[in-house]
Amino acid sequence: MTSGDDTKERAPGEAVGMDPKKSACVLIGVSKYQHLPNLPSVPGNLDALSRLLTDRSVWGLPADRIVRVPDPQAAGDLTGPIYDAIEQAPDTLIVYYAGHGLKTLEDEQLYLTVSTSRRNRSETTLAYRRVRQILESCRDRVKHRVVILDCCHSGQALDGMAVSEAGLQDAELRTKGSYVLTATAADEKAVADSTKRYTAFSGELIKILQNGDPRRPDRERLSLDEIHKLLVQSLDLRTLPMPRKQDQDGVGALPFVWNRASRRPPRPPEYWTRRRRAWAGLALASTLTAGAAAGHWAPELWSTGSERAAIPGSCGKGSRATLLDVSDQLDEPGYDEFQGSEVAGLSGLALADGSGGAYAVRDETPAQIFTLSLGSPGALPGKLNPRVTGVQGIYKPDGSKFTTFDGEGLVVEKGGKTALVSSEKGPAIRRIRLSDGKQIGKDLPLPNTFYPPPRGVAESTRNVESLAVIPDGTLLYAGMEAPLLGDEDVHGRHQVRIERYRGSSGGHYEPDRQIGYQTEEGLYLSELVAVGPDRLLALERGYIRGLGNGVRVYEVDLRGAANLTDTEHLVKDDSDRMAHKTLLVDLADCPPGNVRTDDDQQNPLLDNVEGMALGPAIPAGGKAKVPEGSRALYLISDNNSRSEQTTRLYALAVSLQRS
């Protein structure tokens, strides 16, 4: 197996690097001791690592291949699960240990402790040499063996893990075809503060798995060596002990986990559970068969570049949404560039105040807002004819350019002269004067937790993703794309936070309430639209390679949702504190229309939709059979400035629930 970026073409299902489907992991953690100080942060290590390693957007280890061993009582409780895991891991075996590590003056060996271990009694511990021997014995059956040791040697700290590596020779850690990562260097003490959720070393490892490497957004996978380098950098910034690594046969260079900071479309595979994969295949087959028999939606419907069914059309039986039109015109020559600026990366969408047009903010630099005409005069919103009519750079208050920018959320304030723009890089929410693009005033205040580490606990590339303001401007909502570090998922459904601000258009806004929102499996919160003071529309989207995008819009009722401002960590049992939501439209259920796709999609209509805007009322009836009281809803996809993706605009009619 060769090392390097996981970007080359390969056959579907072909494994590159460490294959989670053929691997296993043993997570051992000792927190409760009879004769040594307890380590209360160790269980948090096991919880987070178990969740992340089985998350297919991180690695995707099958849930039945990860074994947690909390508070083993005897040496056999440590070795037994390792023997069992060997039988399940022809590719990679990971053994993780967190607890007290001891050494004796007699032989200068490392001894792993169990709950009943006593200091200076090596017979009550497990010599690491025995673990090494077990791993050496299976070298012909297990291709890669990874050991992660978050432990000490001396255990002198009363409320932590004391460590000294003076007696730990490289030979002790050397196993052919293996990689060993240790928490400390020679003669240092590791940190395990009982007031923290994780031990220091494992906490940094968890952050890396959770957030990826934001400095390498071009890199899709991270190797163990790259993880070690990131650990060294982050621990050094905190003046904590430096970790060590021992690599045999180049295991450390192999692609390992997905880099969650990659700018490629997010891939939330939990949306595609085995049951849903089967359901999607059956639904597709039955649709094609029924369509062919009826003489429409013929089997070639789903092939790249074929003609699509006519629209408008309902988005599923009993749906409250109708697809009115869809257009890829902004991707076509003559429309994909305006005055030398590439029309790409459109991530936030907002309707212009009373003009019938719209604004779209570009992610990444150059920081720009495009002015769009959505349709021909008199045809809006039934027929799309999108084109760019203007472009405005976004500048700092002194007129200089932003060197780092990642525009995501966009709202036009009352009066139409200013807009609020959120940037994930910073992160920041800024007020922009639309006439010249200059920032007015200071950034809006953000909770400290909404910043990436070390200031906060948010993902560096999935933080302040969406903005929404109610019509009178008194309430502003800012939504996080992904959970904060430490906020638990619920079977793949992300528990994200929405900050509510109180203030006025063009004036000052202050945070006054934090609301929880739970996405569907594997999807992320991409955009918000305010319908009223306590009602939002929420756009959820995600991506899995080989199956494509998931795009859904929900109506959200904020009444009854708990105020989470002072809630440090969300847990699974907090589901009842989240805002209530109701499905409005699943884009996969809409008629495909006359669009093309070069990607694998369950419906060629689907793409990386990130922007959403709620439009005016639409007359009932007509060819589209629009229900009474419907409103226009516009969606736009972000092509990530990649030629293989599409800038696509959608127009729908939606019938909203009455408050």
Nearest-angstrom CA–CA distance, 418 and 429:
13
Nearest-angstrom CA–CA distance, 597 and 577:
40
Cα–Cα distances in Å, from 68 out to 28, 32, 47, 54? 6, 15, 9, 12
Quick: pLDDT tens for 609-643: 999 999 988 888 777 788 888 999 999 999 887 76
Q: Which has more pLDDT, 10 or 569?
A: 569
Quick: pLDDT tens for 237-273: 777 888 888 887 789 999 999 998 775 443 443 334 4
Q: Which helix (H) or strand (E) holds 222?
A: strand 221-223
The pLDDT of residue 3 is 36
Asked if pLDDT for residue 596 goes beyond 80, the answer is no
The pLDDT of residue 172 is 40
Amino acid in position 521? E
Nearest-angstrom CA–CA distance, 659 and 656:
9
Tell me which of 335-344, 552-561, 612-621, 635-644 is least confident.
635-644
Q: Which pair of structure tokens corresponds to residue 128?
A: 């690491």
Q: Which pair of structure tokens corresponds to residue 546?
A: 């080989």
Asked if pLDDT for residue 78 goes beyond 70, the answer is yes
Average pLDDT, integer, range 368-378: 81
Average pLDDT, integer, range 496-507: 95
C-beta separation of 516 from 574 below 8 A: yes
Cα–Cα distances in Å, from 106 out to 35, 110, 136, 167? 21, 11, 25, 10
Residue 40 DSSP one-character state: T
Residue 336 DSSP one-character state: S
614 beta partners: 633
Q: Which helix (H) or strand (E) holds 115?
A: none
Backbone φ and ψ of 323, nearest 5°: -80, 120
The pLDDT of residue 103 is 74
Which residue, among 469, 522, 488, 495, has the nearest Cα to 579 in the 3D structure?
Answer: 495
C-beta separation of 422 from 467 below 8 A: yes
The pLDDT of residue 228 is 93
Q: 359 — alpha (psi -120 to 50), left (phi > 0) or beta?
A: beta
524 beta partners: 541
User: Can you list the domains of the chain with their CATH numbers?
Assistant: 22-258 (3.40.50.1460), 269-654 (2.120.10)
The pLDDT of residue 211 is 82
The pLDDT of residue 6 is 36
Quick: pLDDT tens for 113-142: 999 999 888 889 998 888 889 988 998 899
Asked if pLDDT for residue 419 goes beyond 50, the answer is yes
The pLDDT of residue 111 is 87
Quick: pLDDT tens for 149-182: 998 753 332 233 333 333 333 444 444 578 989 8
Nearest-angstrom CA–CA distance, 240 and 286:
59
The pLDDT of residue 299 is 29
Backbone φ and ψ of 512, nearest 5°: -135, -5
- Give 243: exposed, middle or buried? Use CB within 10 Å, 0-12, 13-18, 19+: buried
C-beta separation of 551 from 588 below 8 A: yes
Nearest-angstrom CA–CA distance, 402 and 88:
51
Nearest-angstrom CA–CA distance, 24 and 42:
20
Asked if pLDDT for residue 317 goes beyond 90, the answer is no
CB-side neighbour CA atoms (13 Å) of 56: 21
The pLDDT of residue 237 is 77
Nearest-angstrom CA–CA distance, 538 and 561:
15
The pLDDT of residue 173 is 42
pLDDT classification of 195: cutoffs 50, 70, 90: low
349 Cβ contact partners less than 8 Å away, ≥ 6 residues apart: 358, 359, 360, 410, 527, 611, 612, 613, 634, 635, 636
